[in-house]
Chains A and B, each alone.
Chain A
Amino acid sequence: MVSFLIRRIATAIVLAWVVLTLIFFAIHTVPGDPAYQLAGGDSGFTEEGLQQIRESLGLDRPLGEQYANYLLGVLGGDLGESFATGQPVAQSILRRLPATLQLIAAAAVLAIAAGIPFGAWAGRRRGMADALMTSVTSVALAVPVYVVGALAVLLFSVTWRLLPAGGLTPFAEDPMGFLRGLLLPAVTLSLAFSAVVARMTRTAVIETSDRDWVRTATSFGLTRRRVFNRYVLRNSMNPVVTVVGLEIGSFLGASVIIERVFNYPGISTLLIDGVSARDYPVVQGVVIVIAVLFILINLVVDILYGILDPRARIR
C-alpha cells in the first residue's frame, strides 16, 4: 500500500508541474495585453504609461525568465500577486476555494444520496422501475446544466421567491442563509451527476446480481434483502466509486457555468475574471489549484478503489 501511495503521489507531482508549465505558456501566448486591460482602455493613458505598467508587472522580461521566476515562487508556496488588485493570488484563492468545495461536496452528496438508491432500486426491481429510471435519467442527462440553472432561478427565485437568485452568505454569518444560497446551485450541479451514478449503480447491480455466488448465497438460506444489501450492493460499488471520482473532478469544470448562472463566489468566477483581464498570475494559480484538486480527488478514488478491491493495488 505504501509503495502504491508513493507511486501515485509522484505521478501527481509530475502532472501538477506539466499543468503549471502548459498553462503558463498558454496564457502568455494568448493575445491580449494585460497592461492595456489594467490601464482601463478609457482615457488618459499613454504608451509611456503602458510600458511602465509592463515593467512593474515584469512582463518586459524574457518569457523564460518569467517562467523560471514563477516556478521558483510556486515551489516556495508563492503563487504571485494579481495584476488587477495586487493581492496575493494564494490569498484570493483561499478566500474563494471554500465556496467551490462546499458546492462540489453538497452536489456530490446529493447526487450519491439520490443516484445510488435510485439505481439500486431500478437494478433490483427491473421492469417498470428500470424503464422509469432510464427515462428520468435520460432527461437529466439531456438538459444542459445552464438551462437547468436558469429554470431553477426563474421558478424558485424570480417567480416564487423561495430562494436567492445568486450569491452565498458565509456559514458563520448566517447558517440558514448559507444553506438557502447553496441549495439551488448544488441541486443543479448534482442533477446530471446523480443520473450517471444511478445508471452506473443499476448496471453494476444487474451484473453483480447475475453472478453465481449470489445464487449460492441465496441457496444457503439468506434472505434476498440481506444478500442484496450486504453483498450485491457492496460488490457493485467499485465501478460506481470510479465514476464518482471522475465526475467529481468534472464538477470543477461544470462549476464554471453554475457559478456564472448563480453569481456564486467560487474560484471559477475568479478564473473567468482572470482570463477576461489577462491577469496571468490569477489564471495560473486557479488552474494549478483546480488541477491539484482533480489529481487529489483521483488519488483518493484510487485509494478507495484499492481498499474496495485489493487487486487494484497490484496493478
Chain B
Amino acid sequence: MNTYIAVVFSSDDKAHKALRKLWALDEDGALTVHGAAVVRRDDMGHIRVADRHSDLGRNTAIGVGIGALLGLIAGPVGVAAGVAGAAALSVAAATGVGALAGGAIGATTDAVKETHRENAASEAFFTLKHGQSAVIAEISEDSPNALDDEMRPLGGTIYRRENSASNNAAFGNQYYSNYLYPYYYEPMYD
C-alpha cells in the first residue's frame, strides 16, 4: 500500500536517526521509500524543511506545500475537508458538464484545493509543536510492523494516510513532492 507518513519527534537528532532508519528499511527491502524529508518547527513557529548540504537555501520558501502534507497526514480537520472536497468534485464530474462549465469547475477545483491546503497547513501547526521535528515520507509497505518496530524505540509518534486518489484529487500530489528527497540525505538547516 502506498502511504504518506509523518513521524514526530521531540528533537532534530531523533528525526535524523529516524530518516537513516527509514532508508535502512528500504535497503533491506522491508518497505520502499519514494521520497522523504526532515522538517522542524522552529522557535518562531515556522515549519522548515532540512536541506541536503549542497542544497542549503533551496527549500527556504516552503509556503504551504510541506505544511499541507503534514496536515493531510496528521490532522483530522484537514483530512475531513479533503474527503468532503473529493466527494463534491466527484459529484460535479458525474453530471456530464460541457466545456464552459468544465472550465468553471476547473477553477473551482483549484480554489477548493487551495482552501484544503491552507486548512491542512493550519493543522500541521497543531501537530508539530515548537521545537519538534518530523520525518515526512511517501512509502510503500505491505505491513506497518517494520516501520512501527523501528520508530517506536526512538519515541516517534507515527501518523499514516493512504496515498489515495481522493486525497490526491483534493490536495494535488504534485504540490509537495519536490520537497521529498528520493534518496537518503544528511539533513541540515541554514
* A, B: real partners: no
Report which B residues bind A (CB closer than 8 A): none
